[in-house]
Amino acid sequence: MWRFIGSRLLQAIPVLLVVITVTFFLVRVAPGGPFSSEKAVIPEVKAALEAQYRLDRPVLEQYIAYLGDLIRGDLGPSFKYPGRSVNELIGAGFPVTAELALYALLVALLIGVGAGVVASLRPNTAQDYIPMSAAMIGICIPSLLLGPLLILVFGIYLDWLPVSGWGDMPGDKILPAITLGAVYAAYIARLSRAGMLEVMTQDYIRTARAKGIPEWRVVVVHGLRGGLTPVVAFLGPAFAGLLSGSFVVETIFQVPGLGRFYVQAAFNRDYTMILGATVFLSSLIVVFNLLSDVLNAWMNPRLRSRAGQNT
């Protein structure tokens, strides 16, 4: 197990290095320097600014210095908000995004696993078709459409829930969490249905039933552990999707999270912020993929040896 985790960690390092390098040089070759938009900057001021951001040095030197800063956990100053560091901006935005992603994941897991298991108990009956049709609807109505529709119905027509903000009013976290989680609920419903259908025909389930264990216990205790393996494997990619999905959801509901900062930084050409946020988000995604793999290997011992051989 530890060897497995170790080999996966070693694989993560080149991935992160590729991300950092590619992002760094992409940002450097971008047309228009970060200060070219400011009109009538006195040459001395511009030179001072460039010196402050190390832009007067050769690119390779900048790159090495940036890597050095990164190792110390310093993502540098923001181009757009003088005096604020990228660390501060991420520190302000990330907790909000993390909270949103967590609620969305909870929504997705509760609804998704519930619907999937219910559907799998009586395949090809109404009990199967209704939740699975709902899942299909969830997949085909993307968040950028679902969000505005929910706002229109629950925020404006029914006037039940606030439509923007985060933590300002009671209930303003409900609509963003549902909007972000809906698609994943749909995928998880499909995955858990397929997983349960496969597991429930296996011998150990028959044995459990033969021992006279109540059916709900067979399903919940014996079935779920095997049946949810595909869901656990999906959690890593789902987390990456939740983070990028938060770009849209935070924009729709005006949630002051990292996704919204990132989109704003993209519009403002705040290159250090983009660079820092990309590095930060990539590291997070790599870590979560790793966690998802480890969890999956723990639940499914056969994968461990196979993964060990590959590396």
Partner 1 sequence: MSTTSISALVDAEQGSSLWRDAWLRLSRNRPALAGFAVLTLFVLVAILTPWVAPYDYAQQNLELGATPPSADHWLGTDIFGRDLLTQIMYGGRISLAVGFIATAVALLIGVSWGAIAGYMGGRIDAVMMRLVDILYALPFMIFIVLLMVVFGRNMLLLFLAIGAVEWLTMARIMRAQVQSLRQQEFVEAAVSLGLSPLAIIWRHVIPNALGPIIVYTTLTVPSVMLLEAFLSFLGLGVQPPETSWGLLISFGTETMEEYPWLLFFPGLVLAITLFALNFLGDGLRDALDVRGAKD
Q: Among residues 45, 102, 145, 169, which is the contact residue for partner 1, using CB under 8 A?
A: 145
Q: Which two tokens stand for residue 245?
A: 């999905």
**How far from each other are the two terminal CA atoms of the chain, in whole angstroms?**
13
Q: Which residues contact 198 (CB under 8 A, 6 or more apart)?
A: 227
Query: Cβ of 301: how many Cβ atoms within 10 Å?
Result: 9
CA distances (Å), 147 to each of 195, 221, 251, in order?
A: 30, 36, 10
- What character string, x for contact with partner 1 (CB under 8 A) and - otherwise, covers 63-102? ----------------------------------------
- What character string, x for contact with partner 1 (CB under 8 A) and - otherwise, covers 251-290? xx---------xx--xx-x----x--xx--xx--xx--x-
> Please, what is the angle between helix 86-121 and helix 271-299, to 10°?
30
Measured between alpha carbons, how far is 201 from 189 in angstroms, rounded to an integer? 19
Binding segment for partner 1 (CB under 8 A), chosen from 52-60, 100-108, 148-156, 300-308, is 148-156
Cβ 95 to partner 1 shortest distance, Å: 19
Q: Using the rule CB under 8 A, is 55 a contact of partner 1?
A: no
Cβ 98 to partner 1 shortest distance, Å: 15
Q: Among residues 36, 52, 244, 305, which is the contact residue for partner 1, using CB under 8 A?
A: 244
- What character string, x for contact with partner 1 (CB under 8 A) and - otherwise, covers 174-213? -------------x--xx--x-------------------
Q: Using the rule CB under 8 A, is 23 a contact of partner 1?
A: yes
Q: Using the rule CB under 8 A, is 301 a contact of partner 1?
A: no
Measured between alpha carbons, how far is 15 from 124 in angstroms, rounded to an integer? 43
Instruction: Give the ranges where 82-228 is alpha helix by DSSP (H).
Output: 86-121, 126-140, 143-150, 174-199, 203-210, 215-217, 224-227
Cβ 44 to partner 1 shortest distance, Å: 29
- How many CA atoms, within 13 angstroms, populate the side-chain half-sphere of residue 249? 32
Q: Report, in angstroms and rounded to the nearest whole number, the Rg of the chain calculated over CA atoms.
A: 24
Cβ 213 to partner 1 shortest distance, Å: 30
Q: Using the rule CB under 8 A, is 249 a contact of partner 1?
A: no
Binding segment for partner 1 (CB under 8 A), chosen from 89-97, 202-210, 246-254, 297-305, is 246-254
Cβ 267 to partner 1 shortest distance, Å: 7
**Closest residue by Cα to residue 135 from 108, 98, 104, 163:** 108
Q: Using the rule CB under 8 A, is 243 a contact of partner 1?
A: yes
> CA 275, 106, 183, 144: dihedral to nearest 10 degrees?
-60
Q: Using the rule CB under 8 A, is 45 a contact of partner 1?
A: no
Q: Among residues 20, 151, 180, 199, which is the contact residue for partner 1, using CB under 8 A?
A: 151
What is the size of the binding site for partner 1 (CB under 8 A)? 51
> Which amino acid would we find at residue 273?
M
CB-CB contact of 243 with 259 (8 Å): yes
Its sign, for the CA torsion 137, 139, 144, 147, is: positive
CB-CB contact of 250 with 176 (8 Å): yes
Q: Which residues bind partner 1 (CB under 8 A)?
A: 11-12, 14-15, 18-19, 22-23, 26-27, 29-31, 136, 139-142, 144-145, 148-149, 151-152, 156, 187, 190-191, 194, 230, 240-241, 243-244, 247-248, 251-252, 262-263, 266-267, 269, 274, 277-278, 281-282, 285-286, 289
